[in-house]
Amino acid sequence: QSVLTQPPSVSAAPGQKVTISCSGSSSNIENNYVSWYQQLPGTAPKLLIYENNKRPSGIPDRFSGSKSGTSVTLGITGLQTGDEADYYCGTWDSSLSAGVFGGGTKLTVL
């Protein structure tokens, strides 16, 4: 059971928009910054979003992050088949004094 809760899977058609939610609590998401990671099949995770809504260099603006209270959302617009991957949210948990991840969400682009 992960500290952060994500839906196991989402799907959408190419060109469409999808959102992935991640919910937590006051000890993690609400009072700390959240990051998102993309893991393409058979590869290492890659940083997608940091500090709730910032994109590292090279990440297209099709990817966006937002936060409200104890939940965050990753948005992906203009879906491409190459976006099929597992997506994870992550943050610091002040009660555990440790980093935590969500259980991951598998994105299928139909």
Partner 1 sequence: EVQLVQSGAEVKKPGESLKISCKGSGYNFPNYWIGWVRQMPGKGLEWMGIIYAGGSDTRYSPSFQGQVTISADKSISTAYLQWSSLKASDTAMYYCARQAGYCGGGNCYLDYWGQGTLVTVSS
**CA distances from residue 48 to 34, 37, 38, 61 in whole angstroms, order as listed:** 11, 5, 6, 10
First to last CA, the chain: 28
Site for partner 1 in 16-55 (CB under 8 A): 31-33, 35, 37, 39, 44-47, 50-51
Nearest approach, Cβ of residue 78 and partner 1 (Å): 25
13 binds partner 1 (CB under 8 A): no
C-alpha neighbours within 13 Å on the C-beta side of residue 95: 8
Q: Exactly one of 2, 5, 19, 23 binds partner 1 (CB under 8 A); which one?
A: 2
Q: What is the smallest separation between the CB atom of 99 and partner 1, expressed in angstroms?
A: 4
The minimum distance between CB 61 and partner 1, in angstroms, equals 18
Q: Are 37 and 48 in contact (CB under 8 A)?
A: yes
Q: Does 5 bind partner 1 (CB under 8 A)?
A: no
Q: Which of 13, 18, 12, 29 is nearest to 63 (CA)?
A: 18
Closer residue to partner 1, CB minimum distance, 45 or 75: 45
- Residue whose CB is less far from partner 1, 16 or 68: 68
